[in-house]
Amino acid sequence: PPTADPPFLRGMLDYLLARAALEARGRGLSAGLARLHLRYGDFSSAEASRRFDPPVDDDAILGEALRDAFEKLSGRRMPLRLVGVELGRLTASPAQASLFPDPDAERRRRLLQSTDAIRERFGFRAVRPGTTLALDQRLDHDRDGYRLRTPCLTR
């Protein structure tokens, strides 16, 4: 059923993005495009996208772009029945980004690797965005994530 609950919708957006970014990183890919799809209660649709040059695989960078798009598109004040995240223009992540890497970027890369290793060992829900806590009361879940109607997102 359509919902207009902002914490639930933001949590779903962050969850979908985290799962997509984790899958891309696991395959050694970076996204040159992030696209947000929304379908409203009246079945009309809207989408927004953002290109990245160079391509990125960082949840924070991708999330910032998609959350901005979500805020712009969800101003219609109509309940949503679908929130979708798409990563496109996928390319192989560089083995070494730079000869002299930015210390902050290197720290962020190591944090992502550690987070991915924890998720691999203990399940996706071991480390997740705080906004996804709003999903716990409304969706069934296990250690690997939430049970969604879309089978490709349910492991």
How does pLDDT run across 94-115, given as a tens digit for each residue? Answer: 766 567 778 898 899 999 999 9
Q: How does residue 151 score in pLDDT terms, banded at 50, 70 and 90?
A: low
Q: What is the pLDDT of residue 150?
A: 62
42-96 confidence digits (pLDDT tens): 999 999 999 999 999 999 999 999 999 999 988 778 899 999 999 999 999 876 6
The whole model's pTM is what? 0.87
Across 131-153, average pLDDT: 80
1-17 confidence digits (pLDDT tens): 789 999 999 999 999 99
Flag whether pLDDT at 124 surpasses 70.
yes
Q: How does residue 155 score in pLDDT terms, banded at 50, 70 and 90?
A: very low
Q: What are phi and psi of 102, to 5 degrees?
A: -65, 130
Q: What is the pLDDT of residue 28?
A: 93
Q: What is the pLDDT of residue 57?
A: 92
Q: Tell me the Cα Rg of the chain.
A: 16
